[in-house]
Amino acid sequence: MANDANPQEVAEKFLDKLKDSPFVMIGLTDSNDHSEPMTAQIDDDQPNTLFFFAGDDNRLASGGDAMAQFAAKGHDFFACLNGVVSTDNDRAQIDKLWNNHVEAWFPKGKDDPNLTLLRFDIESAELWETDISLAGRLKMLFGGTIQAKDMPDHAEVGSVA
């Protein structure tokens, strides 16, 4: 970690950034399929789990070990997440996470026979906050040497909560 970053603070920033732009690239690690963009649904009661509404025929629906990558809107925060994808068709969880954006993809609603709720339980993550300090930006602009104190935060965490 640079700057003596507090891993918990970096993890909290990640969750805030993900709520602002909930799109990740995710793929199963034991598959030859490419990763695909998915919209993460966040349950504040389960901060180490991302949920995805998908079709039963989605390439992630078989479940297994997975990796997800995230880039914030402003390209000032990045994450690589390792975990396990599984099916979680609990109706209460579906009701809790359902929203207009999901309904646009599933016009038959929560009872769509092709609808499945996938959960991605995060086991570890590597997080980068790339907002270099003002001093660091000036050094880059004028050819100075960037010091550790000017560097952005970076953390490896076993939990994003």
- CB-CB neighbours of 4 under 10 Å: 8
Instruction: Note the residue count of the chain.
Output: 161
pLDDT at 54 over 90: yes
b/e map of 17-30 (b: 16 or more CB within 10 Å)? bbeeebebebbbee
**Tell me, what's the pLDDT at 158?**
61
- DSSP secondary structure of 94-161: HHHH--HHHHHH-TTGGG-TTEEEEEEEEEEEEEEE----HHHHHHHHHT-PPPGGGSPPEEEES---
Q: 13 by DSSP, 3-state: which?
A: helix
Chain segment 85-120, per-residue pLDDT in tens: 999 999 999 999 999 999 999 989 999 999 999 999
**Tell me, what's the pLDDT at 160?**
63
pLDDT at 49 over 90: yes
Distance CA 27, CA 66 (A): 6
Model pTM greater than 0.85?
Answer: no
**Tell me, what's the pLDDT at 103?**
92
**Tell me, what's the pLDDT at 62?**
95
Q: How many CA atoms lie within 13 A of 22 on its CB side?
A: 14
Amino acid at 94: I
**Tell me, what's the pLDDT at 119?**
97
The residue-averaged pLDDT of 51-80 equals: 94
Q: 39 by DSSP, 3-state: which?
A: strand
Which one is predicted more confidently, 31 or 157? Answer: 31
Distance CA 9, CA 160 (A): 10
**Tell me, what's the pLDDT at 161?**
57
pLDDT at 140 over 70: no
CB 117 within 8 A of CB 97: yes
Q: What percent of the chain has pLDDT over 70?
A: 76
